[in-house]
Amino acid sequence: MRNEKITDGAAVPTPLQGTHVADLRPNISLPIDRMQTPLWIYDVDNARIVFANAPACVLWQADNEADLQSRDMATNMSPAVATRLKQYQRDFIENDATFTEMWTLYPNGKPTSVMVVYCGYRMPDGRMAMQCEAVGDTENQPENLRSAEALLHTDVMIALHDDSGQPLYMNPAARDVATHATQTVREKFIDPSDYDRLAAQIQLCGEHRLVSKVNTSGGPRWHDLTIKKCVDAVTGDPATLLTAIDVSELKIARDKARYLADRDQLTGCYNRSYLQHYMSSLAVSQSGPCALLCFDIDRFKQINDRLGHEMGDVVLKEVASRVAMSIRATDTLIRLGGDEFVVLFENITSAADLAAHLEDLLSQVSAPISHDATRVNATISIGVTLFTPQTAEFTAILREADIALYAAKQAGRDRLTFFTSEMGDQANARDLVEIELKRAIEQREFILHYQPRVSLQTGSVVSVEALVRWQHPDRGLVMPAEFISICEETGMIEELGQLVLEMACTKAVSLHQAGRDIQVSVNISPRQFEDKRLLGALECFAQHPDFPSGKIELEITENVLIGDHDAIAQKLETIANMGYQIAIDDFGTGYSNLAYILRFPLNCLKIDQSFVSQLPKSGPIVALILTLGEQIGATVVAEGVETPEQLAWLKGQNCTQVQGYYLSPPVAPNRLRDVIHTLETSAASAVEQD
């Protein structure tokens, strides 16, 4: 039974404007009009009673039928009651339904509970109205009335179904979302497996709760469903009570939060957090061999620097998309951060098959990427390790793939490398060096050796290049080839660069104080040049009372000149104005836009030793650099002179200065004075012999 509420009022709805209520009164025969049972016809569309017999007028406490017809039932009618009446109307039209329910009427504001039989009644104008017949009073127990009122107004969907799933009762909320009046339990579920699981649990336990996507009159929604076995109170037959709450918004919000927690926002790939959880569950769900692939985009920093971060983002998304399309649906693509990605392959049949597939992937990814008017040829390097989930440890597996990636980079990029135990041993040794380097920088375990630079016109030593060495407490002197690359990869090059700059400037001051007119040249790495601390350190050295203005030369590579030319030129001008000289090291091997060279305050071009070693074959290139230096007013230095033939050729081409092992290797500070003396004495003897 249900407790429904209809109240009366005075407002007239729009459909009745210009129409007299009497015009809508149906043609009721006299015997029906004289029935002792209250009977009335309710116009659902206009919220008006259009016919009422005498007992109905008494029930509604109306003086007569006209009085009752004048009342606007919509006034103070709750939305739940209005919705319920529309449901009745729809069921009358679709199913010729009849309802017997308990309603609480409120004539003149006083509650009166009656049992009413409702059925459809076709109005003269064709609209469907509702015929209402009060068949008896009810027991006005407060608990019954209030529970029935709660069923009417609650947003919780409550329905009773028989053993076959057919509905026996639906409260207004349940009927409002049902696709039709006879929607079965099975028809509610979009995923049949959800219904099958529900039926099995009901059979086993007698009740079940689940969140499922269901069919409703408003389209697919997510409902939190609770189902319990019970008995129909009318027939005594087995039945099922189903209650539901719409949790669509909460489900969507939670799914979005879960998506955001597990996904990279730029590419849509899974993220590191998801990978860690997935790897933990893999040991349970997967028994076959797997592979972890680690890849990144070759020279991605240059793409960002030259073309901007917007183009960098385009490249990241396109590479991720191409990789995703190249792998199986069972494989998982993860972005760890920056341009570093991981792919987890399950059920690997063989390493050879995987390698063949990954070679195809390399080829597909390397196709040009276009965005607006920009075209980029991006490649990736791949490191792979094979593992068994039951014995694998996430951190160790990821490290192995990363080691293999590093090997691919070292081998030339744009290639695939599988992890081997030898790689692991080398990486362990490298990690040990990294740990020792951190300590060495903290304890200043570095010294400078100096390589003289000789003027070919005078034979005198005009400059010395400061070259760092690691004075290891156990291994002795360690050459830069063993530690500079590690410093660059780890970022320690900035700290080391600051230390070397300080020592070189200190040496320049001491030479100046000793009255030696010799320049000190020191290398500045690209990362150190970008470091905001560089200008502050240079300014601090320049404030020294014995600072030798013009006698400290900073050597930068051509790659430093890539990017914002205005900002770079301004920074170089600031450095030059402090009293430092600027040289380009390894000139001819990097990016040199000659249109911009003139904008920079350059004092020296150092010809890379790769050209000097190929003389005289490389003569045209060396001659071109010599001419360029003359045109821009810069000193030209030939590095890596190792033979008398090379030295003779450079003299013949009027090269300004030279340095190299033929003249002198880099030497310790305590030997520098003797080496300079020997070089200058030899040069003087050569002049006397000439």
Q: Is the pTM of this model over 0.75?
A: no
Higher pLDDT, 626 or 35: 626
Note the Cα 446 to chain centre separation in Å: 42
pLDDT of residue 147: 56
Out of 89-98, 338-347, 443-452, least confident range: 89-98
Tell me the torsion sign for CA atoms 678, 680, 682, 688: negative
Task: Give residues with Cβ within 8 angstroms of 622, minimum separation 6.
Answer: 607, 611, 612, 615, 638, 650, 653, 655
Q: Report whether pLDDT(375) > 50.
A: yes
Q: Rounded to 10 degrees, what is the CA torsion of 574, 575, 580, 586?
A: -130
pLDDT of residue 1: 35
pLDDT of residue 423: 87
Q: At what angle do helices 394-410 and 272-285 cross, to 10 degrees?
A: 120
**pLDDT confidence of 5, banded at 50, 70, 90?**
very low
Q: Rounded to 10 degrees, what is the CA torsion of 298, 301, 307, 312?
A: 70
Condensed to tens digits (0 to 9), the pLDDT of residues 230-264 reads: 877 677 788 888 999 898 888 877 877 777 778 88
pLDDT of residue 683: 66
Strand extents, DSSP E, 205-346: 207-214, 221-231, 238-246, 290-297, 332-337, 340-345
Q: Report whether pLDDT(226) > 60.
A: yes
Question: What percentage of the chain's residues is helix, strand, coil (to nearest 5)?
Answer: 45, 25, 30
- Find, among 47, 7, 52, 33, the residue nearest to 127 by Cα: 47
Q: Rounded to 10 degrees, what is the CA torsion of 564, 566, 570, 571?
A: 10
pLDDT of residue 690: 44
Measured distance CA(200)–CA(188) in Å, rounded: 16
Condensed to tens digits (0 to 9), the pLDDT of residues 311-347 reads: 999 999 999 999 999 898 888 999 998 999 999 998 8
Q: Could you tell me if 183 and 167 are in contact, meaning their C-beta atoms sit under 8 angstroms apart? A: yes
Condensed to tens digits (0 to 9), the pLDDT of residues 637-647 reads: 999 999 999 99
Higher pLDDT, 561 or 184: 184
Mean pLDDT of 24-35: 65
Burial class (CB within 10 angstroms; exposed 0-12, middle 13-18, buried 19+) of 617: exposed
Tell me the torsion sign for CA atoms 308, 309, 314, 317: positive
Condensed to tens digits (0 to 9), the pLDDT of residues 648-667 reads: 999 999 999 999 999 999 99
